[in-house]
Amino acid sequence: MTSQKDSKKLTSYGDSGFSKFIRQAFNRHLGFEPEDYDKPVIGICNTKSEINRCHTHVGPIVDAVKKGVLMAGGIPLEFPTISLGEINTSPTTMLYRNLAAMDTEEMIRAQPIDGVVLIGGCDKVTPSQLMGAASADIPSILITGGPMNNGEYQGRTLGACSDCRFFWQEYRGGQIDEKSLGEINASLAPTAGHCMVMGSASTMAVCAEALGMMLPEGAAIPATDNRRMKHAVDTGKKIVELVEKEITPSKIMTEKAFENAIRALMAVGGSTNAVIHLIAIAGRLGIKLPLGRFDELSRTTPLIANLRPAGEYQMEDFFKAGGTPAVLKEVKSSLHIDELTVTGNTLRETIDAVEFSEVYRPIISSFDQPLHKEGGIAVLKGNLAPNGAVIKPKAASPELLKHRGRAVVFSSTVDLEKRIDDPDLDIQPDDIMVLQNTGPVGAPGMPEAGMLPIPPKLLKQGVRDMVRISDARMSGTAFGTVILHVAPEAAAGGAIGLVKTGDIIELDVESRKLELLVSDEELDRRRDEWVAPVLAERGYTKLFQQHVLQADEGCDFDFLLPVKNKSQKKVPLKSN
């Protein structure tokens, strides 16, 4: 091969000339001339999967990206990486987010490409790709498969998976029968795409756009809309330009850009999962995002997007209203608008180009007349969560945001499933449900188990919400007075693992307090009696449990942080 790029990323045979010769022989079947490889070679990270249903439709998007690359004078070469879909992955995609990030990073590093288009969608794919791209740091751009269209049942708009949870709870409470449940099930996820409420997938797409890693409007274009194909073509064109200008992720994803992403997260009432993911992405670049910064920005960012599960509308409506750029325009005064984006220009140019129609004010409120004066996520601290925990106050019951109650403890998801339907379960509406050992190490993988099911005996009394606390996560599509990401987790010796049924817990969201009203002496006694869980003995799960950081540090692996950021350390585990 005569390409200048042959000197880069050669297979190691101990003879570089032979490496170039054999590469040329094997690459001829692609139909390109050897000199074509002197053009920008663009890798297209294809996450198409029939098991990950949110990515089944990615094929045409890949083809559209290829068209854009060719039109701009580049050479597109697609390659596969791990595709993670929450619904068909056991025990949870979060266990494999870091594996997908490693796959993405290593394939970018190992292959002879000059730039990469990342195709995300389902909620762990997007952050894993941004983590990998941040570490590899060659010109990169993200596009997602887009959200599903709205579902419908008897005149009611359905949204996956907020309504999955709502109607399942009603079924457990005896309010709908099995026939109706089946009819609803058939309409919950009606088209290709990821969840169409402001769940984790939509949230991470919005954050990626606000970070500057996605072309404007890309987060909200429905998967079925032909404008997504145009967006894909434009993405293919743009990556060639990014290569030519040598614009890499580290030049875009700055500390100020992350603050813009956090502002966007708060303004749209996005998923609590984004807190973990943004910390992890930033960590790959040596940028620290303490939980306190999320709370500070939430205090000064109004919630203006009226989107489920905290509001009324869904992504299809959000797109019509102008999507992420329209939200950013409203909160412009609080943004760092001179940050570079993948457009090749600053965020200022994107925002200045927005034309908003007042007819969409029910979907996106103004900065001066927001839905709520503060953002969608609050950070709690106290002796129960010394390193922090999170809650979505706008998706909670207002009367429970300041609450004192008796703890009813479940030691694991297995214990929860075993006891929750027992009619003799000792539990009252004012009690606080506590789930232990479902954090990064303990579960393992920190599953979306934080929205503990209300016991049927209480559902039949009309109870639809209770305070629930765990070291787990919650789907961004979920709702309720749910406190998540308690750190340190139970399996790492955190205080949540010391709670016993009958203890009194005090919650005060306005004051950002989460306290276990047990004396320090008693907690010390319980801590001395605590026994660490038995960890995996082999394979990836063992690697995960040995090296995963806690929720407040992004749940990345400690060995994947840049050297300058090594002050972040995994909580040491107590041995048996």
Helix axes 200-211, 273-284, angle to 10 degrees: 40
- 3-class DSSP string for 305-338: ECECCCCCECHHHHHHHCHHHHHHHHCHHHCCCC
pLDDT at 366 > cutoff 50: yes
Is pLDDT at 564 greater than 90 in this prediction? no
What average pLDDT does the segment 351-380 reach? 97
pLDDT tens-place string over residues 65-99: 999 999 999 999 999 999 999 999 999 999 999 99
How many other C-beta atoms lie within 10 A of the C-beta of residue 173?
19
* Pairing state between β 482-484 and 504-508: unpaired
Q: Give per-residue pLDDT as tens, 114-137.
A: 999 999 998 899 999 999 999 999
Name the CA radius of gyration of the chain, rounded. 24
Q: Is the dihedral of CA 20, 24, 30, 32 positive or negative?
A: positive
pLDDT for 568: 52
Contacts of 313 (CB under 8 A, 6+ apart): 306, 307, 362, 363
Mean pLDDT check: name the lowest of 40-44, 65-69, 85-89, 102-106. 85-89
pLDDT at 571: 54
| Residue 521 scores a pLDDT above 50 | yes
C-alpha distances (whole Å) from 198 to each of 186, 275, 534 are: 21, 14, 37
Q: What is the pLDDT of residues 281-335, one digit of tens each?
A: 999 999 999 999 999 999 999 999 999 998 999 999 999 999 999 999 999 999 9
- Give the Cα separation of 163 and 184 in Å (integer): 9
Terminal Cα-to-Cα distance of the chain (whole angstroms): 58
pLDDT of residue 2: 37
Average pLDDT score over residue span 140-158: 96
The tokens for 249 are 């992720």
Of 395, 478, 475, 396, the closest CA to residue 163 belongs to 478
Res. 405: pLDDT tops 90: yes
376 touches 396 (CB < 8 A): no
Query: Does the structure show a pLDDT above 60 at 522?
Result: yes
Cα dist. 244→118, 238, 240, 471 in Å? 18, 10, 6, 45
Provide φ and ψ at 235, rounded to 5°: -65, -40
pLDDT band at 498 (very low <50, low <70, confident <90, very high): very high
Residue with tokens 């409120």, as numbered in its chain: 365
- Say which DSSP state 551 is in: G
Task: Give per-residue pLDDT as tens, 229-283.
Answer: 999 999 999 999 999 999 999 999 999 999 999 999 999 999 999 999 999 999 9
> Backbone phi, then psi, for 456, in 5-degree steps?
-55, -35
Average pLDDT for residues 326-345, to the nearest whole number?
98
Question: What mean pLDDT value characterizes the chain?
Answer: 95
**Which of 3-7, 95-99, 443-447, 552-556 shows the lowest mean pLDDT across its residues?**
3-7
What confidence score (pLDDT) does residue 103 get? 98
Do 499 and 432 touch, CB atoms closer than 8 A? no
For the stretch 8-26, pLDDT in tens is 789 999 999 999 999 999 9
The whole-model pTM stands at 0.95
> For 244, phi and psi rounded to 5 degrees?
-65, -35
- Res 478: pLDDT: 87
CB 514 within 8 A of CB 380: yes
Return the axis-axis angle of helices 539-547 and 94-110, rounded to nearest 10°. Answer: 100
- The DSSP call for residue 12 is -
Rounded average pLDDT over 41-52: 96
d(CA 305, CA 198): 10
pLDDT for the residue 7: 57
- Whether pLDDT at 1 is above 50: no
For residue 395, the one-letter residue type is A
